Amino acid sequence: MLAVAAHPDDETVGSGALLCRTKNARVIHVTGGSPLDGKDSRAAGFTNRRAYAEARRHEAEEALRIAGIGRSAIIHFNFIDQGVSFLLCDLIAALLKTFKQLEPDLVMTHAYEGGHPDHDSVAFACRIASDIYNQAGGSVPLSLYEFAGYHGRIGYLMPNEFLPNRDTIHIRNFLSSGDCSKKRQMLSEFRTQQKTLEPFFSPTWEVYRQAPRYDFSMPPHPGKLFYENFDWGITNGAQWRSLAYRALREILPTRIYAASSDHP
């Protein structure tokens, strides 16, 4: 299994218990978890974003060590937190290269849920990269799965739950007391993120599913997306969808992507 996480800690939030039980798991951190504007760095007590990113890397390494995943099994792409949406083609290329090198049986990543623009960008890039990889031939097809993160469909944060989708079956992994204890140990390693991780600190289950074939030209749910409440690099969902559409037009032949609606 190859877990692809937008930020250091996302893989633990979404699939920490599963990682503990999976042999030969690898993890990709797409960003270092340190936005360019430095606000998060200063709020966490760091004088610059690089020091903050290094702290987050160390926290993730310690958390994944508890799951039996060593440093050599962690890949850092070093994209900028809150900036992934603007480099979708680069991310797709990096993922495709890694898929070819590692030949994973299963990729586990984010859902398209409007929780964070980086999460949606990673979900999008994993879908496109996995489709290209599987269509290339000459390798065993990989299965694309996703873990539940969070969304704001009903007006407030909903952690550890997917948005409704009729096209795929949810796998709800109820955690044993041992699973819960180990996952809490992993979450506790993210000392700079304790306030952010509060909604996830009493794990009862993890939820996974085979990734649906999203229409990325449409919002993940009606109404205001969760990330539209914050200054996280993207103004609104329409801007994100415009960037995704441009990436599709650049990477894929027009015949592969049939737009079902108008695009900005």
Q: Which pLDDT band holds residue 261 (cuts at 50, 70, 90)? A: very low
pLDDT at 107: 98
CA distances from 122 to 11, 30, 129 (A): 12, 8, 10
pLDDT digits (tens, 9 = 90+) for 150-166: 999 999 999 999 999 98
pLDDT at 253: 61
2 contacts 107 by C-beta, under 8 angstroms: yes
Q: Which pLDDT band holds residue 42 (cuts at 50, 70, 90)? A: very high
pLDDT score of 221 more than 70: yes
Rounded average pLDDT over 93-101? 96
Using DSSP's 3-state secondary structure scheme, residue 75 falls into: strand
150 contacts 226 by C-beta, under 8 angstroms: yes
pLDDT digits (tens, 9 = 90+) for 228-257: 999 999 999 999 999 999 999 998 764 344
Closest listed residue to residue 116, CA positions, set 7, 2, 4, 3: 7
pLDDT score of 264 more than 70: no
23 domain-assigned: yes
Q: Which pLDDT band holds residue 258 (cuts at 50, 70, 90)? A: very low
57 domain-assigned: yes
**% of the chain surpassing 90 pLDDT:** 91
Higher pLDDT, 32 or 203: 32
* Summary mean pLDDT of the chain: 93
pLDDT score of 37 more than 80: yes
Contacts 24+ apart (CB under 8 A), 255-258: none
Q: pTM of the entire structure?
A: 0.94
Furthest CA-CA distance within the chain:
50
| Token couple for 99 | 């898929």
Rounded (10°) angle between helices 117-136 and 88-102: 50
pLDDT digits (tens, 9 = 90+) for 60-82: 999 999 999 999 999 999 999 99
CA–CA dist 175, 47 (Å, integer): 39
262 domain-assigned: no
pLDDT at 148: 97
**% of the chain surpassing 70 pLDDT:** 95
CA–CA dist 244, 128 (Å, integer): 11
CA–CA dist 238, 217 (Å, integer): 9
Rounded average pLDDT over 192-218? 95
pLDDT score of 262 more than 50: no
Residue 77 lies in domain: 2-256
Closest listed residue to residue 77, CA positions, set 2, 186, 4: 4
pLDDT at 254: 43
Closest listed residue to residue 9, CA positions, set 202, 179, 196: 196
261 domain-assigned: no
162 domain-assigned: yes
pLDDT score of 113 more than 80: yes
pLDDT at 256: 47
79 domain-assigned: yes
263 domain-assigned: no
Burial 50-66 (b: 16+ CB within 10 A, else e): eebbebbbebbbebbeb
CA–CA dist 80, 118 (Å, integer): 10
The CATH number for 225's domain is: 3.40.50.10320
8 domain-assigned: yes
Q: Give how many domains the chain has, as a whole number.
A: 1
- Give the number of residues written for the chain: 264
